[in-house]
Amino acid sequence: MSAGAQAGQEVAGLVAQEERLVFDAFGHDDAWRLGSLLVEMARGRGAAVSVEIRRGAQQLFHYALAGTSADNDAWLARKCAVVERYAESSFLVGARFRAKGRTFEDGSRLDADRYAAHGGAFPIRLRGTGVVGAVAVSGLPQAEDHALVVEALERYLAV
């Protein structure tokens, strides 16, 4: 399979995740439960990650496990900025650029100090409304950050 075909399959798979992982409602208590689930999952795996959940401009949940630093918080902010701008996961946005043979940094022309299309931030999408926030993880390689968030969303939504 060609690199272009593989990239196309990756994008299609990521789009399917986003179509499947949709909330009917999302409030402060949901942020607490989802964030706590992510922290439990990370602890169980010995993963040093920071977790953030945002609804609009408001941070509803934040936790940094031992072994993380302020750098993880900066990554969370940059990944969430991509979700806010594109209304798609940070990993999907990066994959779309890679599928075109470009990097996000060069192709988007956005400030790399404010935006990072690396895996780990996923849109909180409400059925009938659209994207209202983001859930994000930072500390693992980008595909693992993304996979951890997706697994937590699947558990939380029982998809």
Q: Which CATH number goes with the domain that contains 46?
A: 3.30.450.150
Query: Which amino acid does the sequence have at 125?
Result: R
* Beta-bridge partner residues of 134: 54, 123
Give the pLDDT band of residue 56 (cuts 50, 70, 90): very high
Q: What per-residue confidence (pLDDT) applies to 29?
A: 98
Handedness of CA 36, 32, 87, 154 (dihedral sign): positive
Tens of pLDDT along 9-18? 899 999 999 9
Evaluate if residue 41 carries a pLDDT over 90: yes
Q: What per-residue confidence (pLDDT) applies to 7?
A: 73
Q: Token digits for 92?
A: 């999907």
How high is the mean pLDDT of the chain?
95
Q: Which domain holds residue 45?
A: 3-157
Q: What per-residue confidence (pLDDT) applies to 1?
A: 62
Per the structure, the count of domains in the chain is 1
Q: Tokens 């922290």 map to which residue?
A: 39
Q: Are 124 and 134 in contact (CB under 8 A)?
A: yes
Query: Cα 155 vs. chain centroid, distance in angstroms?
Result: 16
Tens of pLDDT along 95-150? 999 999 999 999 999 999 999 999 999 999 999 999 999 999 999 999 999 999 99
SS3 of the chain: CCHHHHHHHHHHHHHHHHHHCCECCCCHHHHHHHHHHHHHHHHHHCCCCEEEEEECCEEEEEEECCCCCHHHHHHHHHHHHHHHHHCCCHHHHHHHHHHCCCCHHHHHCCCCCCCCCCCCEEEEEECCCEEEEEEEEECCCHHHHHHHHHHHHHHHHCC
Instruction: Kindly state the percentage of the chain with pLDDT values over 90.
Output: 92
Distance from C-alpha of 141 to C-alpha of 27, rounded to nearest angstrom: 29
Give the pLDDT band of residue 64 (cuts 50, 70, 90): very high
